[in-house]
Amino acid sequence: MNVGEIMTQAVKFCGPDSDLESVAMDMWNHDCGCIPVVDEAGKPVGIITDRDIAMAGALKGEALRDIRISDVIKGHTLHCCHSEDPVQSALKTMWAEHVRRLPVVNGDGRLEGVLSVDDIIACAERGKRGHGVPALSYDDAMNTLKAVCQSHAPQ
């Protein structure tokens, strides 16, 4: 099973010069917890989450409309996958990097969608006795969820 088979394709995205207030409203209106940040060529340069917005607002002490996405994502490493990648490869990245979402890019590096833990859980199946191993198992989904939920903050 490839990433492209289970990813969310129709995703809202923004540019680095967008303000946090408008992006937060886009998240509200599109019922999502993250929005990929793309450059002029449509290539991902970051990802902004609802938690990023809340923390930036609290820590900067400024109105969300006065904070740019670029100020929040600066210095963050972006992890992506390709739509042709095997799902297991994307799961390994999510486990290792403790990320719940991966922007999915095409061969030109342009955004095609997002693979999230929600997509993985929705697709996971329990193995059926006598019917072999599913393409994406329940154990794979739960192990990924456990790995990304582990605290990775400095102790």
How far is Cα 105 from Cα 109, in angstroms, rounded to an integer? 5
User: What pLDDT was estimated at residue 106?
Assistant: 94
Structural domain of 44 = 3-149
User: What pLDDT was estimated at residue 1?
Assistant: 85
Q: What are the pLDDT tens digits along the chain (155 aa)?
A: 899 999 999 899 999 999 999 999 999 999 999 999 999 999 999 999 999 999 999 999 899 999 999 999 998 999 999 999 999 999 999 989 989 999 999 999 999 999 998 888 888 765 554 455 567 777 777 777 777 766 655 43
Judge whether 96 lies within some domain: yes
User: What pLDDT was estimated at residue 148?
Assistant: 72
Q: Which residues contact 29 (CB under 8 A, 6 or more apart)?
A: none
Judge whether 155 lies within some domain: no
What is the pTM (predicted TM-score) of this model? Answer: 0.81
Closest CA to 50 of 81, 66, 29, 74: 29
How many Cα atoms are found within 13 Å in the side-chain-facing hemisphere of 81?
Answer: 28
User: What pLDDT was estimated at residue 126?
Assistant: 56
Number of domains in the chain: 1
Judge whether 154 lies within some domain: no
Most distant CA pair in the chain, distance = 59
**112: domain CATH number?**
3.10.580.10
Find the radius of gyration of the CA atoms of the chain. 17
